[in-house]
Homo-oligomer: A and B are copies of this chain.
Amino acid sequence: MVRPAGQRRAPRPVVPVNENAAPDAPSGSRVPRFSRRALLGAAAGAGVAGIAAGVTATEIAGTRTPQPPSQVVAFRGDRQAGIITAAQDRLHFAAFDVITTDRSQLVALLQQWTTAAERMTRGEETFENGAVGLSDYRPPTDTGEALGLAASSLTLTIGFGPGLFGPDAENPTRPDRFGIAAHRPAALAPLPVFPLDELEPARSGGDICIQACADDPQVAVHAIRNLARMGFGVVSVRWSQLGFGRTSSTSVDQQTPRNMFGFKDGTANLKAEEPEQLDTWVWVQPADNPAAAQWMTGGSYLVARRIRMHIERWDRASLFEQERVIGRSKGEGAPLGQSGEFDAPNFDLTNGRSPVIARDAHVRLAHADNLDGVQILRRGYNFTDGSDGFGHLDAGLFFIAFCRNPADQFVPMQQALAAKDALGEYITHNGSALFACPPGVAPGHWWGQTLFES
């Protein structure tokens, strides 16, 4: 679906057509004066499959680049979208501080967010006629920069940080502002400080996160901006991060992308097509929590790490060194000693006396075989945030991983990597956060309802 495009339309007179009215459109909403709507079909490469009243193909064909097939990813379901959804190409991730102590305000925001988020994932404005259709004398309820853009596979995924739940081991005196301390799942414990961490508070933590992924970055930015805006007085943006290119595949149908070191990333990732593996490593199971934390059943924990890559240092390393550090070939992405990207690494192979895959190679230390079988679902993004003031690009990997229990999965993995990984010479972790992402939003439910009504 496409938001009202609005170009070359007839003058302002009221057009009471409302053929796409959402079932949850606020009752009593004003008659729209801006009701152009169009549909982009999902047929590969075609673009325009269905066109609503009043829009001609010529008008839509004004777009310069043929749109990739518009996809709407379902917002509601047993699981939140944006976790095992085939990774979209662009990211805008925001972490919020909750600045109210009024539980009802927070709940009201979560309810408003849910309605707006669902609408935006369908390619609609945050509210019916939000950008220009309601009143001249009020601020528009949608900021408008996504008018005319397709749904673009937008997913919006919410998570709750430790600070929302009051006291924990790291902050024993933190107040239980919202009366939910009893519902804190044990797995939402602060991450330890890892060797070589150089975490910046302004890039770390947060009470709530929203991950926006889309094929069009303007759609992702629009979503975060409008949700942040709706939260005025209740939440405040603590930090946010744009990612311009995915570094993981989460489906067997996806080609493995490359990170800023030029290597394929996420080859051995968990995939959406492996439901048993996902139940083992991604989705929180009923047995994981006592009754008070059953609201997380079917959810997952999101670990975010901003990994600055020292690309200039890396770019001066020989290909031999780069492949030794990673433990894979740069071109094909095959484990050293093998020929295909998806060949299993053989850590016992030797080249004379030394192992073909070095003892401190990233692929060895991060591999499930060397972590008692532990796996995680990676869903990270390349970023470049301008320059660092020293003549270098501030580039790297915004690492996102989903796991059933970070203490059993991400923490031991990162402990092994931070201590020994040859890659440590070329990267610095400077941001870190952990969030509990509840299960999917059931029909009629709102974000976090299982928590706040549990």
Residues of chain A at the chain B interface (Cβ within 8 Å): 4-12, 33-34, 44-47, 62-66, 68-69, 86-87, 89-90, 92, 94, 97, 99, 131-140, 142-148, 202, 215, 217-218, 221, 224-225, 228-229, 232, 236-242, 244-245, 249, 251, 253-256, 258-264, 311-312, 315-320, 322-323, 329-334, 339-342, 382, 384-387, 389, 391-393, 395
A67 and chain B: residue at smallest CB distance: B68
Bound Cα distance from A239 to B390, whole angstroms: 10
> Are A148 and B318 CB-contacts (below 8 A) given A66-B68, A384-B221?
no
Bound Cα distance from A283 to B66, whole angstroms: 30
Contact B316 A262 (CB under 8 A): no
Bound Cα distance from A211 to B143, whole angstroms: 29
Query: Considering the complex of A and B, which 7 residue pairs feature the smallest CB-CB distances, nearest first?
Result: A45-B45, A144-B262, A11-B339, A236-B391, A217-B244, A132-B331, A218-B245
A339 and chain B: residue at smallest CB distance: B11
Give chain A's interface secondary structure class: loop
Contact A136 B395 (CB under 8 A): no
> Are A339 and B254 CB-contacts (below 8 A) given A136-B320, A317-B139, A331-B6?
no
Cross-chain contact of A334 among B4, B11, B315 (Cβ < 8 A): B11
Cross-chain contact of A384 among B92, B132, B236, B331 (Cβ < 8 A): B92
Contact A393 B225 (CB under 8 A): yes
Q: How far is the CB of A313 from chain B (nearest CB, A)?
A: 11
Bound Cα distance from A96 to B36, whole angstroms: 45
- A/B interface sample: 5 pairs, CB < 8 A: A64-B87, A132-B319, A136-B320, A217-B245, A237-B393
Q: How far is the CB of A276 from chain B (nearest CB, A)?
A: 23
Q: How far is the CB of A319 from chain B (nearest CB, A)?
A: 5
A68 and chain B: residue at smallest CB distance: B65
Contacts of A62 in B (CB 8 A): 253-255
A13 and chain B: residue at smallest CB distance: B339
Contacts of A144 in B (CB 8 A): 258, 261-263, 330
Cross-chain contact of A34 among B33, B89, B331 (Cβ < 8 A): B331
Contact B7 A333 (CB under 8 A): yes
Contact B331 A228 (CB under 8 A): no
A71 and chain B: residue at smallest CB distance: B65
Contact A66 B69 (CB under 8 A): yes
Knowing that A45-B46, A242-B386 are A-B contacts, what are 18 other residue pairs whose CB atoms are under 8 Å apart, sorted by A's residue number?
A5-B255, A7-B255, A7-B256, A7-B333, A9-B332, A10-B339, A11-B332, A90-B217, A136-B323, A146-B258, A147-B262, A202-B387, A225-B395, A228-B393, A229-B315, A238-B391, A240-B386, A242-B384
